[in-house]
Structure 1
Amino acid sequence: MKFQFFRFYALVVLAAALLIWSFNQIYNAIQEPNKSYQVDIDYFIERYNQPATESGNSTGQLPLFNTISAESLVLPEDVEQLLDTGNVIALSDDNGNTFYYKKNQSGQTLTMFGPFQDVKKDSNIEPYIIPLFYSSLACLILFLMRPIFRDLQQLQNEAAEFGRHPTPMSHSIKESSNIFPLAKSFYSMSDKIVSFIQMNKDLSRTISHEIRTPLARMKFMLEIIAPKIKRSQKERIQNDIAEIESLVNDYLSFAKVENEADSINRERHSMKNFLQEIYDKFSIYEQETAIKYHSDDVMAYFDQGSMSIAIQNLLTNALRFSKQTISLDFRLKDDTCILSVEDDGPGVGDNADNLMQPFSRKNTKEQNHKGFGLGLYIVRKVAIWHEGEFSIAQSDKLGGAKMQIRWPNN
């Protein structure tokens, strides 16, 4: 990356120096005095027609020929050589008057013609030199910077597409680009991530097949030896098998959430009818826990499959900790969907952030529950897929935990 930086820096400096030199040459060409010693006839006419009050007479301002001694001028050696070779030289005094000199044939005298006052003629292009220079400098910087930001935009689009669909990124950034080392790192990272995802999928299939098969054999053998062992031993083995199965199922759900985000399809659904179906599924638990359900009769945009899993995970989690009551509530506020599940359990305390991490579990002496901390993580992922957020707090209404999903209704 250092090579690309120094290359770009040298290119900017060289281009800027070339541009400055070019405009300096143009400016000097405009400001260059006329060295041909040709006198403009308009100058004589203007001087002749000047009012007499300025000089006392109308012809006093005209340049005149005079003869002076050659020794009256002290000149540098190179200028003296010009006079000796018969050239005409021009000298200006402190008042801005210019006199022309030429050495006579005798070599002892000089013919002096003047004075001429410098008349600076306005150039048509001179007022535009400075604005044109800065405009050209801005265009130069834009020309040099545009390829970098174009490649950065291309890399950003590829990274965003990779985030939506984790497939190997197309190597569209050329090696000549200044950001190629950065793009190369992105491409290498994307290849590794795709490899990890594929390995995770393979691991999920392995767990699904290789672990469930011996578990089935263990269940079969347990039924065979059940009459020969104590009831407590049988129940303990059954609990261990059930715990392993629960871990396998949770891990498979976790892998599905991680790897199948591209199947999300947000459509417009009736939220009241959708929650009614979920409420009916959990109505079998109302003998132990009362589930209070309320929803605004509105249409909302969400993915029905993933949102159903998220809400069921929230209700299952609430059933583990609630004592008597669970509240399921949905409302639409300022075009934002707000879904809340509250319970009257012990609450979450200071563990809210940890509970949303995978494989984290809440330690409590009051509840001996099964689970491996993946349910709330899946809820959080579903919220992210819907461009929303998932939060856990203390419930003011029931006193236990309050878990809430927010997402934009668009």
Structure 2
Amino acid sequence: MKFQFFRFYALIILAGALLIWSFNQIYNAIQDDNANYQIEVDYFFDGLSSDSKRGTKPLPNLLTIEAASLALPPDIQQMVEQGKVIAITDDSDQTFYYKKDLNSGQLMQFGPFMHQKKATSFEPYVVPLFYSSLAFLILLMMRPIFRDLYKLQQDAVDFGLKPSPMKRSVKESSNIYPLARAFYTMSDKVLNFIQMNKDLSRTISHEIRTPLARMKFMLELISPNIKTSQKERIQNDISEIESLVNDYLSFAKVENETDTLHFEVLSIKDFLKEIYEKFSIYEEQTVIHCHSDDVQVCFDKSSMSIAIQNLLTNAIRFSDKQISLNFSLVDNNCVLSVEDDGPGVGDNAQQLMQPFSRENVKEQNHKGFGLGLYIVRKVAIWHEGEFSISKSDALGGAKMEIRWPRNLPHS
């Protein structure tokens, strides 16, 4: 914001100076050609005094010369023909005044006059003082606007990090209050949508368990009277609904943790070791390779644990024989990646990060509901980072990567 302020301020000053210079040039161009030549009496007295002391200052003389002896530009020559007084200054800074005698046709020459400047101590400072005053006035006009814009920017950044009612730091008397009011109104609507989403997640996740329990009970009662294939079909439908409910519960848990995120500096190697031990039970079907730099980084342990477990669960679901879990520091940014040797994601990377997107894989009996990777993306955003999906060069399958700054401002 400071850079924008100084850039805009410099632009205004430059535009103001150019405007004043342009008006000055226009004024000089259109001012009256009939200049009123005035000579101070003190000039003659000073010349007489200098002449008595044998000074070098010449006294003016009135002479008559031939009109043809003076070569003048056409526009100046036209003024002379009209009987107007003209002034010509030579290279020695001596000024001569000429006027044509309309009766005789000759030119009357009066001069020379030495150019004199009034010796004042204030004149050299008039122009700088004027421009400085103009710059200071513009600064006084611009500073409140950019100050309020900076406050509004900070409120928006704080709201993005932790959605909560925005502070009304911009007063109603501010010039940008209409913009601030729109921001405040928008933030209230966003908070309402967030709360509605949380309530909906809780309702769907918890209330749906009751009819599921009744369905299971009824299935056990009628199972002797139906075919085995029909029973399996109903059981698969119930399992699919339960899977959706579990995903919803994870989603609601992560959403609710946005208000209780606790960023701290921890050993990433010890953190990944704990998660690796939880997934060691899958090593009979899939080998998991874990490698991490032994460094201290800042992150929220709870939400990051959910994100990594979702990535590993997804990798185990689609991998063939092995998975790689790696962490490294690149340009002071944390890079955590999970790679597998499965079929990959093709061109569906962006789609898979959206909620409720589904990837059908014929070799797998389980179909996800798209909340796992969406949660990972949300966790990356909470850490001021990004989540990306690409092809694994090492294993040939999918590569899912989370990047976030090593030193977050929350720490």
Read off the aligned partner of 2:332 and give its amino acid letter.
Answer: D
1:181-260 to structure 2, matched below 5 A, reads 181-260=178-257
Read off the aligned partner of 1:128 and give its amino acid letter.
Answer: Y
Is contact 1:48-1:62 (8 Å) kept?
Answer: no
**Correspondence 1:401 to 2:371:** no
> In structure 2, which of residues 262, 287, 310 is the aligned counterpart of residue 265 of structure 1?
262
Is contact 2:385-2:405 (8 Å) kept?
Answer: yes
**Correspondence 1:282 to 2:279:** yes
**Residue 54 of structure 1: CA displacement?**
6.4
Q: Could you tell me which residue of structure 1 aligns to residue 334 of structure 2? A: 337
Instruction: Specify the SS of the correspondent of 2:279.
Output: helix
> In structure 2, which of residues 49, 54, 67 is the aligned counterpart of residue 51 of structure 1?
54
Per-residue displacement from partner, 1:240-283 (whole Å, max 9, x unpaired)? 12211221221232234345323222222222222221111111
Is contact 2:51-2:57 (8 Å) kept?
Answer: no
Q: Could you tell me which residue of structure 2 aligns to residue 349 of structure 1? A: 346
1:154-193 to structure 2, matched below 5 A, reads 154-193=151-190
- Cα distance in 1 for partners of 2:277, 2:56 equals 113
Q: Could you tell me which residue of structure 2 aligns to residue 388 of structure 1? A: 385
**Correspondence 1:135 to 2:135:** no
- Cα distance in 2 for partners of 1:350, 1:387 equals 25
Read off the aligned partner of 1:367 and give its amino acid letter.
Answer: Q
**Residue 373 of structure 1: CA displacement?**
0.7
- Cα distance in 2 for partners of 1:294, 1:271 equals 11
**Residue 40 of structure 1: CA displacement?**
9.3
Q: Alpha carbons of 1:50 and 1:329: their partners in 2 closer, same or farther (altered >3 Å)?
A: same
**Correspondence 1:122 to 2:119:** yes
**Residue 226 of structure 1: CA displacement?**
2.6
Give the aligned length: 339
Is contact 1:348-1:394 (8 Å) kept?
Answer: yes
- Cα distance in 2 for partners of 1:134, 1:257 equals 58
Is contact 2:161-2:382 (8 Å) kept?
Answer: no
Q: Could you tell me which residue of structure 2 aligns to residue 293 of structure 1? A: 290
**Residue 308 of structure 1: CA displacement?**
1.0
When the two chains are superposed, the root-mean-square deviation of aligned CA atoms in Å is 3.5
Instruction: Specify the SS of the correspondent of 1:260.
Output: helix
Is contact 2:342-2:397 (8 Å) kept?
Answer: yes
Gaps of 5+ in 1: 1-11, 25-32, 56-60, 64-91, 99-114
Gaps of 5+ in 2: 1-11, 25-35, 62-84, 89-94, 98-110
Q: Alpha carbons of 1:42 and 1:272: their partners in 2 closer, same or farther (altered >3 Å)?
A: same
**Residue 342 of structure 1: CA displacement?**
1.2
- Cα distance in 2 for partners of 1:53, 1:147 equals 60
Q: Alpha carbons of 1:172 and 1:388: their partners in 2 closer, same or farther (altered >3 Å)?
A: closer
Is contact 1:290-1:324 (8 Å) kept?
Answer: yes
**Residue 221 of structure 1: CA displacement?**
2.4
Instruction: Specify the SS of the correspondent of 1:396.
Output: coil
> In structure 1, which of residues 361, 364, 367 is the aligned counterpart of residue 361 of structure 2?
364
Read off the aligned partner of 2:296 and give its amino acid letter.
Answer: M
Instruction: Specify the SS of the correspondent of 2:297.
Output: strand
Read off the aligned partner of 1:338 and give its amino acid letter.
Answer: V
Is contact 2:310-2:373 (8 Å) kept?
Answer: yes
Is contact 1:331-1:338 (8 Å) kept?
Answer: yes
- Cα distance in 2 for partners of 1:214, 1:51 equals 123
Q: Could you tell me which residue of structure 2 aligns to residue 9 of structure 1? A: none
Q: Alpha carbons of 1:172 and 1:337: their partners in 2 closer, same or farther (altered >3 Å)?
A: closer
- Structure having the higher Rg: 1
Per-residue displacement from partner, 1:123-148 (whole Å, max 9, x unpaired)? 21111111111111111111111111
Is contact 2:267-2:296 (8 Å) kept?
Answer: yes
**Residue 398 of structure 1: CA displacement?**
1.4
Is contact 1:390-1:405 (8 Å) kept?
Answer: yes
Per-residue displacement from partner, 1:149-207 (whole Å, max 9, x unpaired)? 11111111111111122222233323332212211211111111111112112212222
Q: Could you tell me which residue of structure 1 aligns to residue 100 of structure 2? A: none
- Cα distance in 1 for partners of 2:401, 2:329 equals 13
**Residue 39 of structure 1: CA displacement?**
5.6
Is contact 2:205-2:249 (8 Å) kept?
Answer: yes
Instruction: Specify the SS of the correspondent of 1:169.
Output: coil
1:374-385 to structure 2, matched below 5 A, reads 374-385=371-382
**Residue 389 of structure 1: CA displacement?**
2.1
- Cα distance in 1 for partners of 2:57, 2:41 equals 26
- Cα distance in 2 for partners of 1:266, 1:120 equals 72
Read off the aligned partner of 1:155 and give its amino acid letter.
Answer: L
Is contact 1:266-1:303 (8 Å) kept?
Answer: yes
Read off the aligned partner of 2:265 and give its amino acid letter.
Answer: R
Instruction: Specify the SS of the correspondent of 2:208.
Output: helix
TM-score (norm 1): 0.72
**Residue 408 of structure 1: CA displacement?**
2.4
- Cα distance in 2 for partners of 1:172, 1:390 equals 33
